[in-house]
Amino acid sequence: AQSVTQPDIHITVSEGASLELRCNYSYGATPYLFWYVQSPGQGLQLLLKYFSGDTLVQGIKGFEAEFKRSQSSFNLRKPSVHWSDAAEYFCAVGGYQKVTFGIGTKLQVIP
């Protein structure tokens, strides 16, 4: 069975600081991996996805993620956080016709 673990429920960073959100997955084959962002009162928006190829994936809003097969990880990064990045972030793993989401990491950005 596929699963996703986001070990950090809540993270606080200062504006301008770097950010890394952790995601670990369990899947029997090469997974499809995703990061979504949800602003308050909104649905989820796709930030980036990994299907195959280059393990460093660039997404929207200046985010990137790196697929590390040996660590079963797909961590999300941003070099400099903006106040508008405050939101909840969801990692997801996709297998054949099924997508499993993590419980999310809520990001707080302080001035």
Partner 1 sequence: ETGVTQTPRHLVMGMTNKKSLKCEQHLGHNAMYWYKQSAKKPLELMFVYSLEERVENNSVPSRFSPECPNSSHLFLHLHTLQPEDSALYLCASSQEWDSYGYTFGSGTRLTVV
Q: Which two tokens stand for residue 22?
A: 């952790």
Smallest distance from partner 1 to CB 44, Å: 4
Q: What's the rounded Cα separation, in Å, for the pair 12 and 75?
A: 16
Smallest distance from partner 1 to CB 69, Å: 19
Smallest distance from partner 1 to CB 70, Å: 23
**Site map for partner 1, 23-62, x if CB under 8 A?**
---------x-x-x----xxxxxx--x-------------
Helix (H) or strand (E) holding 110: strand 105-110
Give the residues across from 4 on adjacent strands.
25
Which among 5, 62, 61 is positioned nearest to 33, based on CA atoms? Answer: 5
Q: Which residues bind partner 1 (CB under 8 A)?
A: 4, 9, 32, 34, 36, 41-46, 49, 90, 94, 96-103
